[in-house]
C-alpha cells in the first residue's frame, strides 16, 4: 500500500488528506444527532492517526492529519450553547487551551510515529494512543 501511495501525485495525496479530515468533520458534527458517535470518535482519533500514518508513510501529512482531525471537536465545543453560558475566568481559559492543544499535538505525534519505516516508533505509537485516551478521560469533568 505504501508503494502505491508513494506513486500518487501530490494532488491525489492532498485529496486523500482532505477526505480523511472531512470524515472526522462529519463524525464530529454527527455527535449532535447521535451521541453514541462520541464514544466511537473517542477511539477513532488515535486509530485514525495510526492508520493514516501507517498506510501513507508520509510523516508530514500524518502529523498534520492527526493534529487537525481533533480541531473539529474543539470547534464544536466552542460553538456549543453550553460553552457560552459556562462562567469563564482566565485560569479556566488557560486550562482549556492547554488541554485542547496537548491532545491534538499527541495525535499528530501518533501519526508521525506510525508513518516511520522502523518498527520501534510504530510500536511506541500504540501506548501513546492509550495515553491519549486516558488524557481525554482525565479532562472530562
pLDDT tens sequence across 93-136: 888 888 889 999 999 999 999 999 899 999 999 999 999 999 99
Nearest to 15 by CA among 23, 114, 67: 23
Share of the chain above pLDDT 70, in %: 94
**55: its cell numbers:** 498506510
How many Å apart are CA 55 and CA 51, to the nearest integer? Answer: 6
Mean pLDDT lowest among 6-10, 48-52, 92-96: 6-10
Q: Is the dihedral of CA 6, 8, 11, 16 positive or negative?
A: negative
Q: What is the C-alpha to C-alpha distance for residues 140 and 66, in angstroms, rounded to an integer? A: 21
Do 66 and 53 contact (CB within 8 A), yes or no? yes
Which residues are CB-neighbours of 101 under 8 A, at least 6 positions away? none
Q: Which pLDDT band holds residue 48 (cuts at 50, 70, 90)? A: very high
The yes-or-no verdict on residue 67 having pLDDT over 90 is: yes
Task: Rounding to the nearest 10 degrees, give the CA dihedral for residues 16, 42, 47, 115.
Answer: 70
pTM of the complete model: 0.86
Amino acid at each position: 500500500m505504501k508503494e502505491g501511495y508513494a506513486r500518487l501525485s501530490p494532488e491525489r495525496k492532498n485529496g486523500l488528506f482532505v477526505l480523511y479530515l472531512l470524515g472526522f468533520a462529519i463524525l464530529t458534527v454527527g455527535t449532535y444527532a447521535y451521541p453514541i458517535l462520541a464514544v466511537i470518535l473517542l477511539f477513532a482519533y488515535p486509530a485514525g492517526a495510526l492508520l493514516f500514518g501507517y498506510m501513507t508513510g508520509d510523516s508530514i501529512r500524518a502529523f498534520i492529519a492527526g493534529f487537525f482531525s481533533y480541531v473539529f471537536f474543539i470547534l464544536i465545543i466552542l460553538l456549543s450553547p453550553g460553552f457560552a453560558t459556562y462562567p469563564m475566568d482566565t485560569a479556566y481559559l488557560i486550562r482549556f487551551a492547554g488541554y485542547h492543544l496537548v491532545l491534538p499535538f499527541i495525535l499528530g505525534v501518533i501519526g508521525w510515529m506510525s508513518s516511520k519505516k522502523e518498527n520501534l516508533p510504530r510500536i511506541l505509537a500504540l501506548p501513546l494512543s492509550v495515553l491519549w485516551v486516558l488524557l481525554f478521560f482525565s479532562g472530562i469533568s
